[in-house]
Amino acid sequence: MARTVIIEATGGPEVLTLVDRPVGDPGAGEVRIAHRACGLNFIDVYQRSGLYPMALPAALGMEASGVVEAVGHGVTHVKPGDRVAYAAQPPGAYAEARVMPAAQVCPLPDGISFDEGAAMMLKGMTVQYLFRRTTPLKRGDTVLFHAAAGGVGLIACQWARAEGITLIATAGSDEKCRLALDHGASHAINYRTEDFAARVRDLTGGKGVDVVMDAVGKDTFDGSLNSLKPFGMFISFGNASGKVPPFDIGLLAAKGSLKITRQTLFTHIADPTTCQAMAQDLFAMVTSGAVKIRIDQRFPLERVADAHRALEARATTGQTILTL
């Protein structure tokens, strides 16, 4: 048996319930993991609230770290006793232990702690695909990155600095702006006190940025389009403020033949070989010291509802994990 967080109905943090569930043995292509820590992400909120529908009852959580206890037939890249971490479907990481598909489970280097492993996989591989796989980026390019003091954002600030990319950060307070600057952002804009699109134009001499990376959604969409240079790329990868409403595609022509894409990590990691390669790239950035994983909030598993409340209130910085 393992303590596991489930929901039986969608709603607010109060629907999160901690129950004892049998774990069982792994079947072919599966692995059983005893977790050491679990990561917290906005996708968990979307699933809990019903924005991303799930069959109920459902377990939650998309990333964790731990030790392999058993493997099923055909699993060769990990073995019992290995330290591992993952970001993967199906949900179920908010648990002391679980059986899950092995394909996206990645060997965790000894130089990376279990807490760091749980905190970095979904957010770190998100940054990897944003900078390496979604649109060509080169040294000297300029990126506007929203919510830059959050878990994905602080990794992105460091990644941009390491790659020689100018990153203009937005955040919701002066303190969060300073945090983004401390982690490698070239500029930071408090979107609560400034018109970020106008400030971006000032910072770029009126040209706009090459790429916008936006996980906020509805609240920043119009300003993001207004921040791009002609032929610029808008990368949407989240909806923290709500879904972007339908819009006239002609706006993209009127604002300079802009490009737009809606990305999700799980498309990128669906191929196991690609997933392992992305994880290795992320691990190399962390073990080299170019990217440090900052964990600012830790909640015990039984306080998962409080963790969700903090995340939704935008009261968190860096990474948040659940401890076991």
Query: pLDDT by residue (tens digit) across 45-65?
Result: 999 999 899 999 999 999 999
**Residue 1 Cα distances to 29, 38, 156, angstroms:** 21, 17, 38
The pTM of the full predicted model, rounded to 2 decimals, is 0.93
pLDDT tens per residue, range 311-320: 999 888 889 9
Looking at this protein, which amino acid is placed at residue 322?
A: L
Please determine, for residue 246, whether its predicted confidence score (pLDDT) is greater than 90. yes
User: Would you list the domain boundaries of the chain?
Assistant: 2-123+266-323, 135-262
| Whole-number Cα distances in Å, 86 to 33, 65, 262 | 11, 7, 22
Phi, psi of 307 (to 5 degrees): -65, -45
**Residue 184 pLDDT:** 98
- Closest to 118 measured CA to CA, from 51, 46, 57, 33: 33
Sequence letter at residue 268: H
Amino acid residing at 324: L
Q: Read off the pLDDT of each residue in 184-204 and give the average, rounded to a whole number.
A: 97
Sorted by sequence, the CB contacts under 8 Å of residue 308 that are 6+ apart come out as 13, 16, 40, 44, 45, 48
CATH class of 135-262: alpha beta
2-123+266-323 CATH: 3.90.180.10
Average pLDDT over residues 204-227: 96
What is the pLDDT, as a whole number, of residue 242?
Answer: 87
Average pLDDT, the chain: 96
How far are the Cα atoms of 121, 202, 244, 250 from residue 85, in angstroms, in the given order?
A: 7, 42, 32, 43
- What pLDDT score was predicted for residue 314? 85
pLDDT at position 241 over 90? no
- Please determine, for residue 232, whether its predicted confidence score (pLDDT) is greater than 90: yes
Kindly state the percentage of the chain with pLDDT values over 70.
100
Quickly state the pLDDT bin for 193 (edges 50, 70, 90): very high
**Segment 251-275 mean pLDDT:** 97
Q: What percent of the chain stands above pLDDT 90?
A: 95
How far is it, in rounded angstroms, from Cα 126 to Cα 232? 20
Query: Parallel, antiparallel, or unpaired for β 228-236 and 2-7?
Result: unpaired
The Cα 135–Cα 104 span in angstroms is 23
Q: Give the DSSP per-residue string, 42-75.
A: HHHHHHHHTSS---SSEE--SEEEEEEEEE-TT-
Q: What does the alpha-carbon distance between residue 124 and residue 156 come to, in Å, rounded to a whole number? A: 8
Bond prior to 57 in cis (omega within 30° of 0): yes
